[in-house]
């Protein structure tokens, strides 16, 4: 008996009248033995595979149909979610753009405040790459040479912080954000080789500061989050705890990975900067371990219980908005630096 005949035999002998799956399987095996002298213990590997696959196909046909139906619904729902998410973003853009038309273009202080609120409100992840490029280019075009590096550092810090804080603090997400930011900075650095090292160093310092700020904020929020909201953290407890204990490694790995994928000159710069960063990550390590301890103190028991129970085209609207956000990020960074410089001067200047 060939394999096709064997399969047909089991299809014909299969009796669905039994309510129990065990009885249905037992019935067809016994029927094959009694009626056609097919003994399961005498079949070779391929024949046993055909028998098992035939029974599985019969038993799971309805489930496969239901699964396909659900997958189709899931796809429709995902499209609807993406569409509504896009509409939500567009609504946010429209509100801020309308408010901006009512502000005098010369009123830089009010515009800077408005842009800062916009950065805090808009989901930056989808347009992060273009926003970073626009922000750095704007900083290079509008800042004096002596100010450009500090401006880039400040705006990268802000963009890193605003993007990370809107979602879960886990390795995959943070790595993607840092990699996206650094990759965009590398593109600009390679297009401006004379100042590439300055751009990359300012970017790395900004990334480090933004990551540190995000973890510090996470730690502060942990101290006050009510136990009723524990489910927000419990699902990712083990992952977050592990990630918090290796933030410095994560940071250095992101830089090394991007260095390996870049040109030889950029790779050399990044590797040198990465070596220096080893000595500049102590504060990041310290704040990460503090956050891990706070999380452990408040949620370790709850997490253990839960675990046991659980056993872009350049002319597109997105690109245009990213360019606007980049310019606005530069404005926010410049404003922050200006205020810092004024504060420093007021402390240093002697009072009359």
Average pLDDT over residues 234-240: 57
Encode pLDDT of 50-107 as tens digits. Answer: 888 888 888 888 888 888 888 888 888 878 877 877 777 778 778 888 888 888 888 8
* Per-residue model confidence (pLDDT) at position 310: 37
Average pLDDT over residues 283-303: 69
pLDDT at 148 over 60: yes
Q: Are 325 and 127 in contact (CB under 8 A)?
A: yes
Q: Which residues contact 119 (CB under 8 A, 6 or more apart)?
A: 158, 159, 162, 325, 328, 329, 332
Contacts 24+ apart (CB under 8 A), 297-306: 298/222, 298/223, 298/225, 298/227, 299/230, 299/233, 299/234, 299/237, 300/237, 302/227, 302/230, 302/234, 303/233, 303/234, 303/237, 303/238, 306/231, 306/234, 306/235, 306/237
- If one compares 271 and 122, the residue with the highest pLDDT of the two is 271
Using 50, 70 and 90 to split pLDDT, how confident is the model at 166? Answer: low
* Per-residue model confidence (pLDDT) at position 204: 93
* Per-residue model confidence (pLDDT) at position 63: 85
pLDDT at 316 over 70: no
Average pLDDT over residues 272-281: 78
DSSP codes, 176-209: HHHHHHHHHHHHHHHH-GGGHHHHHHHHHHHHHH
Using 50, 70 and 90 to split pLDDT, how confident is the model at 270? Answer: very high
Using 50, 70 and 90 to split pLDDT, how confident is the model at 345? Answer: very low
Q: Are 179 and 258 in contact (CB under 8 A)?
A: yes
User: In a 10 Å sphere around its CB, with 0-12 CB exposed, 13-18 middle and 19+ buried, how is residue 303 labelled?
Assistant: buried
Name which of 30-34, 208-212, 234-238 the model is least confident about. Answer: 234-238
Name which of 54-58, 306-310, 320-324 the model is least confident about. Answer: 306-310
pLDDT at 306 over 50: no
């Amino acid at each position: 008996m060939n394999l096709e005949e064997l399969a047909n035999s089991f299809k014909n002998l299969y009796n669905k009248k039994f309510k129990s799956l065990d009885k249905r399987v037992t019935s067809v095996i016994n029927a094959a033995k009694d009626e056609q002298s097919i003994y399961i213990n005498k079949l070779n590997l391929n024949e046993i595979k055909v028998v098992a696959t035939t029974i599985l196909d019969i038993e799971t046909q309805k489930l496969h149909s239901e699964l396909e139906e659900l997958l189709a619904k899931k796809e429709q729902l995902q499209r609807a979610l993406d569409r509504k998410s896009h509409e939500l973003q567009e609504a946010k853009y429209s509100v801020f753009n309308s408010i901006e038309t009512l502000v005098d273009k010369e009123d830089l202080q009010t515009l800077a405040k408005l842009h800062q609120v916009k950065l805090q409100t808009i989901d930056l992840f989808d347009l992060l790459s273009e926003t970073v490029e626009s922000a750095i280019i704007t900083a290079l075009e509008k800042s004096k040479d002596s100010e450009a590096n500090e401006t880039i550092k400040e705006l990268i810090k802000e963009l890193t912080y605003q993007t990370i804080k809107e979602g879960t603090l886990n390795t995959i997400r943070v790595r993607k954000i840092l990699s996206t930011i650094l990759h965009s900075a590398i593109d600009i650095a390679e297009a401006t080789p004379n100042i590439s090292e300055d751009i990359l160093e300012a970017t790395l310092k900004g990334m480090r500061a933004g990551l540190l700020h995000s973890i510090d904020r996470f730690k502060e929020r942990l101290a006050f989050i009510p136990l009723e909201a524990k489910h927000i953290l419990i699902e990712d407890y083990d992952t977050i705890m592990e990630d918090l204990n290796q933030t410095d490694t994560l940071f250095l790995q992101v830089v090394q990975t991007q260095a390996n994928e870049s040109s030889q000159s950029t790779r050399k710069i990044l590797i040198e900067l990465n070596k220096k960063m080893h000595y500049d990550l102590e504060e990041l390590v310290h704040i990460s371990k503090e956050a891990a301890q706070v999380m452990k103190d408040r949620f370790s028991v709850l997490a253990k219980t839960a675990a046991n129970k659980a056993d872009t085209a350049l002319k597109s609207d997105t690109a245009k908005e990213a360019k606007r956000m980049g310019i606005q990020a530069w404005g926010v960074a410049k404003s922050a630096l200006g205020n810092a410089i004024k504060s420093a001067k007021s402390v240093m200047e002697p009072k009359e």
